[in-house]
Amino acid sequence: MKLLLASFLTLVTFCMAQAQALKPPTESALDRFLRYVKIDTQSQEDQTTVPSTRKQLNLANLLAKELGALDAQNVRVSEFGIVYATFPGNLADNSKVPVIGFIAHMDTSPAVSGENVNPIIHKNYQGGDIVLPKDPTQVITVDKNPLLKGLIGDDIITADGTTLLGSDDKAGCAEIMTMLDTLRQNPQIKHGTIAIAFTPDEEVGGGIEKFDVNAFGAKFAYTVDGEELGEISDETWSARTATVTFQGKSTHPGTAKGIMINAMYALADYLNRFPHDILPETTEGRVGFVHPYAGVIDVESSNLKILLRDFDVSGLDAKEKLLRDMVAQTAAKYPQVKITIDVKENYKNMKEVLKNFPELTNNAMEAARRAGLKPFLKPIRGGTDGSNLTFRGLPTPNLFTGGTNFHGKLEFNSRRGLEKTTETLINLVQIFAQKS
């Protein structure tokens, strides 16, 4: 026991000495972040091309150039605007350590403008609400953002109130780049080969389809696209979409008696059957939902599109059964309307695969702890690029970035958020090298 304590203390002293001895990167995570957020990379829904907007290539080409300057190898921007690179390991035998990938997305949400982002640094935050200078109605309140209480003394970065900040996910881009910069400055940090990718169109869900898993060359990867410091996610929704179609019969209303069958009433009846307690607006945490989100209302043919979400397949099956039972009930009430339901699988909870690779989550937790953080697991009430990649053979949990309030004008991150995430990434590549 004494010996164990002694070796533990030696290890702690060693880690501390190493942390203190690190040469700083050539550019801080914050400075990098401030440069990247000023580049407009907003993606656009319903486009036929990837990337959906050409302007995302401005950041892609810049990142490719900067990767080259950091001695990354095989740097390329694919025809779809995906930036790939490899950062060589510095071990005696790099083949003994799995190639670890890091992925961040370059685009920002179509929900709020990303043009002329003017990042504001609120230096040495001393508590209280933060009013954004260009639009005083935009206020980051302590009430709605309890995270602020942990940021006293930190430098908080916001937009000016007219745009989003774009921390989602330029924080991830800046943190990955600063990790490489720091590793290059500190060859005493031992690590295996690292694969890097920056992707377009994450927010509109098209970019990842074009991702070349084989060419990427990693055995595992992490998306760096989460929120609060310490938050690690290895679970996403399992997701299906249902389309319920109500077929009636249209005719001239002047001569409709006994002929017209108005499908709208059947749709309204169906909609009224949704239980109140399993909707997005009434659920949180691990509780799934059904969500009628769009539809067509017309005499002849009406339809309703419904999202089904749950962390467990059994829960998803139960929700699908509920929707089918409701169809039977409405059909009994409106026998003349032909009602059909079609359910499609969208994506599955990545935990189904990641449960077979517990070291990915465990090493990330360990890396965060070594950075002085308190890591915690948080299931994502959505899908990530990682869920897509995980089912294509590249197991990919999601790591925090320090940012929050994504897709809105109240988005923020902090100097410590950027620095501690970067430190966690550096710890993570070391842990893989040490444990292999």
We find the least distance from the C-beta atom of residue 3 to Zn ion, in angstroms, to be: 46
Helix (H) or strand (E) holding 13: helix 2-21
Task: Give min distance, CB of 341 to Zn ion, in A.
Answer: 32
| 175 lies in the site for Zn ion, by CB under 5 A | no
Beta strands in 88-163 (DSSP E): 100-105, 120-122, 130-131, 139-140, 156-158
Whichever of 334 and 347 has its CB closer to Zn ion, that residue is: 347
Choose between 225 and 366: whose C-beta lies nearer to Zn ion: 225
Active site residue 234: no
Give the total of residues touching Zn ion (CB under 5 A).
3
Contact stretch for Zn ion (CB under 5 A) within 8-16, 35-43, 163-171, 279-287: 163-171
CA dihedral of 329, 332, 334, 335, whole degrees rounded to 10: 140
Q: Verify binding: residue 235, Zn ion, rule CB under 5 A.
A: no
Calpha distance 244→325 (Å, rounded): 12
- Please identify, using beta-carbon distances, which residue of 201 and 225 lies nearer to Zn ion: 225
Q: Does 231 bind Zn ion (CB under 5 A)?
A: no
Is 11 in a helix, a strand, or coil? helix
Binding segment for Zn ion among 218-226, 229-237, 238-246, 370-378 (CB under 5 A)?
218-226
Region binding Zn ion by CB under 5 A among candidate stretches 128-136, 220-228, 373-381, 424-432: 220-228
Residue 233's Cα: distance from chain center in Å? 10
Q: Is 385 in the site for Zn ion (CB under 5 A)?
A: no
Task: Determine, following the binding rule CB under 5 A, whether residue 168 of this chain makes contact with Zn ion.
Answer: yes
* Closer residue to Zn ion in complex, CB, 106/244: 106
Active-site residue, selected from the candidate residues 66, 107, 168, 231: 107
Q: Is 169 in the site for Zn ion (CB under 5 A)?
A: yes
Does residue 186 contact residue 90 with C-beta atoms inside 8 Å?
A: no
Residues near 267 by beta carbon (within 8 Å), at least 6 away in sequence? 244, 246, 295, 297, 302, 303, 304
Q: How far is the CB of 17 from Zn ion (least distance, A)?
A: 36
Helix (H, G, I), strand (E, B) or coil at 114: coil
Whichever of 25 and 226 has its CB closer to Zn ion, that residue is 226
Is cis: bond before 169, omega within 30 of 0? yes
One-letter amino acid at 91 equals L
Cβ contacts of 57 within 8 Å, gap of 6 or more: 51, 77, 81
State yes or no: is 202 an active-site residue. Answer: yes
Q: Closest Cα to residue 393, out of 419, 354, 344?
A: 354
User: CB–CB of 363/398 below 8 Å?
Assistant: no
Single-letter residue type at 38:
K
Please, which residue, 169 or 269, has the CB nearer to Zn ion?
Answer: 169
CB of 105 to Zn ion, least distance (A): 6
**Residue 225 touches Zn ion, criterion: CB under 5 A:** yes
Stretch that binds Zn ion, among 137-145, 168-176, 251-259, 273-281 (CB under 5 A): 168-176
Name the residue nearer to Zn ion (CB basis): 36 or 432.
36
Nearest distance, CB of residue 380 and Zn ion, angstroms: 11
Output the smallest distance, CB 362 to Zn ion, in A: 24
| Environment class of 288 (CB within 10 Å of its CB; exposed 0-12, middle 13-18, buried 19+) | buried
Q: How many helices (H) and strands (E) does the chain have?
A: 11, 17
Q: What is the DSSP letter of 163?
A: S
Q: Which is nearer to Zn ion, 224 or 327 (CB)?
A: 224
Of the residues 168, 175, 202, 366, only one is catalytic, namely: 202
Q: How far is the CB of 265 from Zn ion (least distance, A)?
A: 42
Stretch that binds Zn ion, among 61-69, 209-217, 225-233, 306-314 (CB under 5 A): 225-233
CB of 136 to Zn ion, least distance (A): 28
- Let me know if 127 is exposed, middle or buried by CB neighbors in 10 A (0-12, 13-18, 19+): exposed
Instruction: Write out the catalytic residue numbers.
Output: 107, 202
Residues that bind Zn ion (CB under 5 A): 168-169, 225
